[in-house]
């Protein structure tokens, strides 16, 4: 028993925020942002929450695959910016798309979330209990970013993307994976801390904390851990980089992509990128980029081409997957 990807899709809000617009209230500049991150603009939601973005991406995925929502066996959403702590964003998406009563849950592994969710989903599909499974990554980072903090405000954007998996008698699309977490370094990126109180009874509500990030620690973590993860993955699967069509990495910072490519001794062109348009969309960045490549004809579902997916972020979490389309 195996699994294959039969559809991709994505959705980003209409509102575009350029670097020049950030100059109006932050001590920054277009040149400073582009030279350090590769970001030119990002999409920001005005009224749509995470479940709304994910539902629109999901409907596009199903339409592209020609599959009715009633045939979907489960919905998994990777996000660090859910609509609520409860209900899950996946449950809200399930209702919005009409996949009623099916198993639905969220995965929070921050910017590695889509890798984690895809790994879980593939194993659920291997059970043979489902014909189709929907895996989404969606974020409204704009609601948890501190827009007064120049170090983080310039980085993030909103969006959603995902894939539809189908049970098949062929081999699985996942050829290998290498997935990790290190909670001892979790404080390097935090958001939404819910304060603990030792007393019970009526008391003022405590607002959720906004995103805080130690940029230097995250940069160092990424350029150390990600190349090793990719190398371990290629060694475990006996894969040469010449066999890989492209590497779809989490779109955090173009300087990070260049540093990873240098450590791997591969051309940076092997790394697909759209960070200039969307910024860092956390768990949504990998599926949005995957869908753009499929929609643009650069990658073809069913072609058996090999692609490496790699994510890294809060947790700290990181992971890589070798897949064949």
Residues 93-114 pLDDT 10s: 999 999 999 999 999 999 999 9
Residue 238, C-beta contacts closer than 8 angstroms, at least 6 positions apart:
none
From the candidates 19, 108, 253, 280, which is the catalytic residue? 280
124 contact partners, CB below 8 Å, separation of at least 6: 74, 130, 133
Residues above pLDDT 70, as percent of the chain:
96
Stated pTM of the model: 0.95
Catalytic site includes residue 54: no
Q: What is the structure's pLDDT at 199? A: 57
Confidence (pLDDT) at 194:
74
The answer to whether 280 is a known catalytic residue is yes
Residue 224 has pLDDT above 90, yes or no: yes
Catalytic residue among 111, 167, 246, 253: 111
Active-site residue 276, yes or no? no
pLDDT confidence band for 309 (50 / 70 / 90): very high
Question: Which of 54, 108, 246, 250 is flagged as catalytic?
Answer: 250
């Amino acid at each position: 028993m195996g699994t294959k990807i039969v559809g991709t899709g994505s959705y980003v809000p209409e509102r575009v925020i350029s670097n020049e617009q950030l100059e109006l209230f932050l001590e920054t500049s277009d040149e400073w942002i582009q030279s350090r991150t590769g970001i030119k603009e990002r999409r920001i939601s005005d009224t749509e929450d995470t479940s709304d973005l994910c539902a629109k991406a999901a409907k596009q995925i199903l339409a592209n695959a020609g599959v009715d929502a009633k045939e979907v066996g489960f919905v998994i959403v990777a996000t660090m910016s859910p609509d609520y702590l409860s209900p899950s964003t996946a449950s809200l998406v399930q209702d919005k798309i009409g996949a009623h009563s099916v198993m639905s849950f969220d995965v929070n592994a921050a910017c590695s979330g889509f890798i984690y969710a895809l790994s879980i989903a593939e194993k659920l599909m291997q059970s043979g209990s489902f014909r189709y499974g929907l895996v989404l990554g969606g974020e409204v980072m704009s609601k948890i970013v501190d827009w007064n903090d120049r170090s983080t405000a310039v980085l993030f954007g909103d969006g959603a993307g995902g894939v539809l998996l189908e049970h098949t008698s062929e081999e699985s699309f996942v050829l290998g994976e290498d997935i990790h977490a290190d909670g001892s370094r979790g404080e390097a990126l935090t958001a939404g801390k819910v304060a603990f109180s030792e007393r019970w009874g009526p008391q003022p509500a405590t607002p959720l904390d906004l995103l805080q990030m130690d940029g230097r620690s995250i940069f160092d973590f990424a350029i150390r851990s990600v190349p090793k993860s990719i190398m371990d993955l290629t060694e475990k699967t006996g894969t040469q980089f010449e066999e890989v069509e492209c590497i779809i990495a989490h779109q955090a910072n173009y300087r990070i992509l260049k540093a990873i490519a240098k450590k791997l001794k591969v051309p940076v062109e092997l790394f697909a990128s759209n960070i200039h348009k969307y910024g860092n969309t956390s768990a949504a960045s990998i599926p949005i980029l995957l869908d753009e490549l499929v929609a643009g004809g650069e990658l073809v579902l069913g072609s058996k081409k090999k692609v490496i997916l790699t994510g890294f972020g809060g947790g700290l979490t990181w992971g890589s997957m070798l897949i064949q389309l």
